[in-house]
Structure 1
Amino acid sequence: MPTPARDAVAVEDASLTAFYRDMTPPERHTFWACAAGWALDGMDFMIYPLVIGTIIKLWSVDAGTAGLAATVTLLASALGGWLAGYLADRIGRVLTLQITILWFSFFSLLCAFAQDFSQLLIARALLGLGFGGEWAAGAVLMGETIRAQYRGRAVGSVQSGWAIGWGMAVLSQAVLFSVLPPETAWRWMFVIGAAPALLVFYLRRYVEEPRVAVESRARAAATGDRPAIWEIFSGPLLRTTILASLMSAGCQGGYYAITTWLPRFLTTERGLSIVSSTGYLAALIAGSFAGYLAGAWLADRLGRRPLFLIFSLGAIAVILVYTQLPLSNAVLWVLGFPLGFFASGYFSGMGAFLTELYPTRLRGSGQGFCYNFGRGIGALFPALVGYLSASMSLASAIAIFAAAAYGVFFLTAYALPETRGKVLHADG
C-alpha cells in the first residue's frame, strides 16, 4: 500500500520548475547559495584539467605525474568530505559550509604562486580538503531544507551549477590564453579560482540551519548521545555504507577519467589547439548542463535508482563510441553533447539519494563518507589513465577505466533501495 509520502509525490506538480515556484524564502536562499557554491566549486576543480597541458610543457613532467595532481586533490577531498560531514553533524551545516569554502578558495589562490610541480601538488592537496568538504556540507544542507516531494528536482538543479562553473573555467581559459602567454595565463586561472570566498558573505546573511538538523543536535546535546564518526559502519548501516561508497566510486571514477583527460585528448590525438578545442568542450558542457536538469526531473519522476541505471548504461555506450570509432572531428563535436549528458546527469540524484539513506544524526557523516570515499577511489583514475596512456592511446585508456567505473556504478545502484519520497525527521 502506498505511503503518505509517496501519495504526496503523486499529486504534486511534476514539472521541473515546480519546486522553485513553491519555495519558501529560506528554501530559495539555500537553493541559490548552494547553486552558486556548486558552480564555483566546479570552476575551481576544472581549472587544473584545462591547464594540465601547459603544466606538462612548462615543468617537463610526464602525463602520469601530471595526472597525479588531480588524483591527490581528489584523495584529499575524500578525507575532507568525511571530516566536514562529521563536523556538519556536530557544529552545523551552514558553519561547516562557510569554513570549507574559505579553505579551498585560499589554496586555489596559493596554486597561482607555485614555483614548481611539487609546490603545486601540495597546494592542490590542501585545496582538496575544502573542496570535498564543501560538497558534503552543502548537499546535506540542501537535502534537509527542501521538502520531500521536491528534493530530487531541487538538489539536482543545484548540481547543474557544476556545469556552469565548468563553462566559466573554459571561458576563462579561452580569454586568458588568448591575451596572455601560457606561462602566465595558467596562474591567473588559479587566481580566478579564489572567487568562491565571496559567497561566504551571502551564507552568513541569508542561509539558515535546517530545522531538522537543529532539533537533532539539540536532542543529542540533551541526552548526551552525540554521533560517533564510526557509527555508519555498525548494524544495518554497514551494508548501506559499503554499497553507497562503491556506487559513489563508480560514478565519480568514470566522470574523472573522462573530464580530466578529455582536454588533453582533443589537443593531442585530435590535433586541436587549446583555443580551438573550446567549442568541443562547450558541446560537452552544454550536454552536461542538460543532463543535470534532466536528471533532476527524472530523480523525482522515475526515482533515484532508475536514473542511475539508465545514465550509467548511456555513459558506457557513448564513451566507447566517442573514443573507439574512427570519427571525424565534426561528428566528435556533435557527440560531445550526449557524452556530457550521460556522463554527468546522474549526479543530480546523488545528493538527494545519499541524504535519504541515513538518519539525521548521522546524515552528514554517512553522506560525507560515502560520496567522498567515491572521490578517493575515483581519484586513482586520472593517474591510472595517465600511466596507461604510456603503453596505449589516451583514447583507449580513458575508455577502459570509464567503462569499468560505470559498470560498478550500475551494479551497486541496482543493489540499493529506492528512496524517492522519504520524509526526513529529527530522530531518523
Structure 2
Amino acid sequence: MNTTAIPTVQSDGFFSWFHALTGKERRTFWSCKIGYALDAMDTQFLSFVIPTLIATWGLSKGDAGLIGTVTLLTSAAGGWIAGILSDRIGRVKTLQLTILWFAFFTVLCGLAQNFNQLLLARGLMGFGMGGEWTAGAILIGEVIRAKDRGKAVGMVQAGWAIGWGVSALLYALMFSLLPAEWAWRSLFLLGILPALFVIFIRRFVDEPEVFVAQQKQQKQQEAEGAERAKFTEIFSPKMLSTTLRAVLLTTGAQGGYYAITTWLPTFLKTERHLTVLGTGGYLAMVIVGSYVGYIVSAFLTDYLGRKKNFILFATGSLCIALAYTRLPVTDNVMLFLGFPLGFFVSGVFSGMGAFLTELFPTRIRGSGQGFSYNMGRAVGSLFPLLIGLASQKMALGEAIGIFAATAYGVMILAALTLPETRGKQLES
C-alpha cells in the first residue's frame, strides 16, 4: 500500500479541498453529513422529553436512565451488524436501510402508550442509529482522496452538532405550540423526515470505486475457488492486535464522553447548586463549541496527523473535566466553559472515521470499523454506571475526574501504539 505526503498548508485557502471535489464526491459528502444530522436529531429528541415523561407518565430517573443505556447498547450492536452488512451488500444500501430503520422506530416512540413500549421502540431505534454512523463513515472515507480524507470525514461528523441544534429548536417550537402531553409525541413523529432523504441517496449517491473494484476482484477469486472474506477475519492473528487497540482507542473516547456528559449536569446542579445549567444559553454554548471542535479537529487530523490530534483533544477533554470538578465554578464561568466542553469532548471524535477507515483493508473494512467503534461504544456506556456506583463511596466530582482521566489515558496510550495512517491510499 502506498502513502503520499500531506502538504501542511493549503495554498489557496482552508476550503480549497472542497472546491476540488468532483460532483460525485460532493453528493456523497452532503448525503453523509445530512444523514448524520438527521441521525442526531432523532437521537437527541429523547433527552429533551425525559422531564415531560417523568411528569406525565411518572417515570423514575432509573427508568429514564435505562432507556438511554439500552439505546447505547443496541446502537453498538447495530453498528457492528451494519459494518458486516456494508461489506456484503454495499455502503450506500446499508446507509439507506439504517436511515429508514431509525426513522421508523423514532415514529413508533411517539406512538408508545407506556414505558415498556417506549423502551422497546427506542431500543430498536438504536440499531439504526449506530448502523448509520458506521455506514456513513465508511462511505465518505472511501470516496474522498487520501490527503483530504480527515477534513472531509471530520466535517461530515460535524453534522451531529447541527442535528443536535435542530432537535433543540424543534423541541422549543413544539412545546410552545402544543400542550406538553402532545408536544413530546409530535417531536418523535417528526422523526419520519429522514426517511424522505433516502430518495435523494438512492438517486444521486453511488458506491465508492474502491469498494466496487474490491467486489469484482472478490467475485473473480470466488470463481477460482477462493473463500469469501469473512467478518471474523478482524480477529485473525494478522488483524487481532490492530482490532483490539482500535477498540481501546474508541473505548477511551466514548467512555470519557459519556462520563462527562452524563454526570456533569447532576454534579453541577446538586453539589455546586448552579442554575444556568438548564438555560438555552448554556446548551447553545455547548452545541456551538461542539461544531467548532469538529471542524478544527477535522483540519488538524490532516495537518498534525491522526495520532497527535487524538492526543491533543483527549488531553483537552481531560483538562476541561478537571476544571469543572476541581475549580470553583460560578454560573458565569460555567456558561463560558460550555464552549470548550463541547469543543474538546466532541472534537475528539472528528478524526475517528478516517482513522478507522485507513486501519482496515477494503474487504473487511465495514466489519473492522463497525466492530471497533461500536464495541468502544458498548464498553464506554458502562462508565456512567460505574461512576454512579463509585459516587456512593466518594464525592461525585472525584468519581467523574477519576473515570474521565482513566478513559482519556487509555485513549492516549492506544493512539501511541497504533500506526499513523495520515495519507494512506486505500487498496482496490
TM-score, length basis structure 2 = 0.92
CA spacing shift, 1:313–1:258, aligned 2, 3 Å: same
CA spacing shift, 1:192–1:263, aligned 2, 3 Å: farther
Could you list the per-position Cα deviations for residues 364-397 of structure 1 after superposition, in whole angstroms to 9, with x for gaps in the alignment? 1100110111111122234445566677776555
Could you list the per-position Cα deviations for residues 17-49 of structure 1 after superposition, in whole angstroms to 9, with x for gaps in the alignment? 122111000100000000001111112222222
Q: Please identify, of 124-133 and 322-331, the stretch whose mean Cα deviation from structure 2 is larger.
A: 322-331
Other-structure match for 2:5: 7
Could you list the per-position Cα deviations for residues 315-355 of structure 1 after superposition, in whole angstroms to 9, with x for gaps in the alignment? 01112212343311111000000010010112110000000
Distance 2:266 2:117 in 1: 22
Residue 385 of structure 1 contacts residue 398 of structure 1 at CA under 8 Å; is this kept in 2?
yes
CA spacing shift, 1:118–1:403, aligned 2, 3 Å: farther
Q: Please identify, of 288-297 and 167-176, the stretch whose mean Cα deviation from structure 2 is larger.
A: 167-176
Other-structure match for 1:23: 21
Instruction: Report whether the alignment pairs 1:153 with 2:155.
Output: no
Other-structure match for 1:346: 348
Other-structure match for 2:250: 248
CA spacing shift, 1:113–1:395, aligned 2, 3 Å: farther
CA spacing shift, 1:232–1:220, aligned 2, 3 Å: same
CA spacing shift, 1:291–1:48, aligned 2, 3 Å: same
CA spacing shift, 1:186–1:27, aligned 2, 3 Å: same
Other-structure match for 1:212: 210
Distance 1:281 1:389 in 2: 25
Residue 64 of structure 1 contacts residue 383 of structure 1 at CA under 8 Å; is this kept in 2?
no
Aligned with 2:124 (options 92, 103, 126): 126
Aligned with 2:101 (options 100, 103, 113): 103
CA spacing shift, 1:11–1:170, aligned 2, 3 Å: closer
Unaligned runs of 5+ in 2: none
CA spacing shift, 1:397–1:164, aligned 2, 3 Å: farther
Aligned with 2:58 (options 46, 57, 60): 60
Residue 256 of structure 2 contacts residue 380 of structure 2 at CA under 8 Å; is this kept in 1?
yes
Residue 276 of structure 2 contacts residue 282 of structure 2 at CA under 8 Å; is this kept in 1?
no
Residue 89 of structure 1 contacts residue 361 of structure 1 at CA under 8 Å; is this kept in 2?
yes
CA spacing shift, 1:391–1:123, aligned 2, 3 Å: farther
Could you list the per-position Cα deviations for residues 237-259 of structure 1 after superposition, in whole angstroms to 9, with x for gaps in the alignment? 10010010121111112223333
Other-structure match for 1:328: 330
Distance 1:193 1:90 in 2: 28
Could you list the per-position Cα deviations for residues 184-215 of structure 1 after superposition, in whole angstroms to 9, with x for gaps in the alignment? 32222222233211210110111010011011
Other-structure match for 2:339: 337
Distance 1:184 1:399 in 2: 39
CA drift at 1:7: 2.6
Residue 263 of structure 1 contacts residue 281 of structure 1 at CA under 8 Å; is this kept in 2?
no
Distance 2:78 2:426 in 1: 25
Equivalent position SS for 2:237: coil
CA spacing shift, 1:110–1:390, aligned 2, 3 Å: farther
CA spacing shift, 1:169–1:19, aligned 2, 3 Å: same
Distance 2:283 2:102 in 1: 25
Distance 1:262 1:293 in 2: 24
Query: RMSD in angstroms over aligned alpha carbons?
Result: 2.3
CA spacing shift, 1:191–1:393, aligned 2, 3 Å: farther
Counterparts of residues 11-410 of structure 1 (less than 5 Å): 13=11, 15-224=13-222, 225-261=227-263, 270=273, 272=275, 277-385=279-387, 398-410=400-412
Partner AA of 2:379 in structure 1: I
Percent of paired sites with the same residue: 54
Q: Please identify, of 221-230 and 141-150, the stretch whose mean Cα deviation from structure 2 is larger.
A: 221-230
Distance 1:134 1:155 in 2: 14
Q: Please identify, of 180-189 and 385-394, the stretch whose mean Cα deviation from structure 2 is larger.
A: 385-394
Distance 2:268 2:110 in 1: 25
Partner AA of 1:140 in structure 2: I
Residue 353 of structure 1 contacts residue 419 of structure 1 at CA under 8 Å; is this kept in 2?
yes
